[in-house]
Amino acid sequence: MGRCLQSLGKRGIMIETERIRFLNSQDIKDRPYVVYWMQSAQRVEYNHALIYAINEANRLKKDLLVYLGITDSYPEANLRHYRFMLEGINEVKSRLETLGIRMIVCRCSPEEGMIVLSKKAALAVVDMGYMKHERAWRSRCASLIDSRFAQIETNVIVPVETASVKEEYSAATLRRKLDKIKDPFIVLPEEEDYLGAYVSKELIPEFDISDIDSALSKLEIDHSVGAVDEFKGGTAKAKELLDYFLEESFLYYSSKRNDPSYDYCSNLSPYLHFGQISPIYVYIRALNYETADPDFSDSRKSFLEELFVRRELAINFVYYNPLYDSYECLPDWAKKTLAKHSADLRPYIYSKEDLERGLTHDEYWNAAQLQMVKNGKMHGYMRMYWGKKVLEWRPSPMDAYNTLLYLNNKYELDGRDPNGFAGVAWCFGKHDRPWGERDVFGNVRYMVYSGLKRKFSMEKYLDKVK
């Protein structure tokens, strides 16, 4: 496949045309400014949507306004998620100020603020979202905005519809498609200086986020899940974590990333979730990282598989499967085998409340649950074990599925996310194949306590969590 690019602006900045979609058929209007609705890509660096908006503003000789809407009712979000997000947005707002670009943060349903601001916009721009509520927001704007409305896809390496026109069965089927077309997309967009003026007019009531504690106290959100000390939001922190990972952990990623007693993961998933760092930037940094160790290629391959294939498989899943947030999203073979074994005797049954508090007989599972509750992130391998055990300990597969979604979305900083929905579904057979039949699980893959104890130094993991 040849590299298909659209040249933007006088310096020849290029964005792949596959990333650009016009959501309505309106023309560009002769109005004062271009407005970019920053929602899923909360960063300044390597943000195709922001770059597109800057270039169009320069080309049209218009000013540029960046807008972000904060709603009190974002699905399943709580204080933990809002604090992390606001830390990142404050960084974005400050960085845009240095570039001479005004950012307006509004406390409203995000699409409502965009509809108001677009009434004086020559051109409206938005980044792409994949989940149902994100797409509904953009669809409503498309029906009401009377100037051109451009959507730019920036939070994936290969645009979702370019990668595949349907839901993929597994990582293997998507990987084959990505391998054929990925190279033209593994390039960072060139950035251009903004040439317009700073928009100083009062256009819409603003929400002051300069004091994050004060802003959070005003939001009518769930305050029961506190912020975490281990993760601070923002691109600067994401890049700091990436630097640490490359220098200290990357070499051992292939051999030790699954061992819960170590921490050789990148810990970038919360930042990718909020769009605070570009996946293309991370991919290129990992791809170009040099080491003299001859065994390093395995670690590079494993990390890029997780960052690229597995992450974009999850995005493919939520984009093409409207049932991604329910038990009904599972493949037929999984639903059939789980139904066959739904009446099997469970060795233990735990209430949702006991699971939430980590009060089971399994100290490894309890540690994983408490790690998530306290830190906002669970070790990746333990997340698989954690999910499999809930399937075994709730009265029915559907009940287990709903319990896992509840816990994951409530406590994980990267919950409420394509990766989170795909990860829960994987525990029930999604993107997997049938295995040997056994009680409760049927042909769905299972994991056991003795396997963890045999493979890893689990006492070290318990000490680490404590």
> Is residue 342 located within the same domain as residue 305?
no
* Beta carbons within 8 Å of 325's beta carbon, 6+ residues apart: 132, 405, 421
Which pLDDT score is estimated for 155? Answer: 98
The verdict on 332 and 311 lying in the same domain is no
The reported pLDDT for the residue numbered 435 is: 97
| Together in a domain, 32 and 163 | yes
Same domain, 11 and 50: yes
Mean pLDDT score, 8-31: 82
pLDDT at 8: 40
Whether 450 is in a domain gets the answer yes
240 and 211 co-located in one domain: no
CATH number of the domain where residue 369 is located = 1.10.579.10
Q: Are residues 355 and 455 in the same domain?
A: yes
Average pLDDT rounded to a whole number, residues 8-26: 78
Domain boundary among 298, 320, 342: 320
Shared-domain flag, residues 293 and 405: no
The number of folded domains in the chain is 3
Q: Are residues 113 and 129 in the same domain?
A: yes
**Model confidence at 44, in pLDDT bands (50, 70, 90)?**
very high
* Domain shared by 104 and 177, yes or no: yes
Residues 6+ apart with CB under 8 A from 11: 190, 192
Q: Is residue 228 part of a domain?
A: no
Residues 187 and 69 in one domain: yes
Residue 282: inside a domain = yes
Domain match, 292 and 338 both? no
Residues in Cβ contact with 245 at an 8 Å cutoff, skipping those fewer than 6 apart:
265, 266, 267, 268
Give backbone dihedrals phi and psi of 398, rounded to 5 degrees, phi first.
Answer: -65, -40
Q: How confident is the model at residue 13 (pLDDT cuts 50, 70, 90)?
A: very low
* Domain-embedded: residue 402: yes
pTM for the predicted model, two decimal places: 0.95
292 pLDDT band, cuts 50/70/90, is low
Average pLDDT over every residue of 373-395: 97
Does some domain include residue 230?
no
**Residues 295 and 346 both lie in one domain:** no
Residue 458 is part of which domain span? 327-465
**Is residue 459 over pLDDT 80?**
yes
275: CATH: 1.25.40.80
Is 10's pLDDT higher than 90?
no
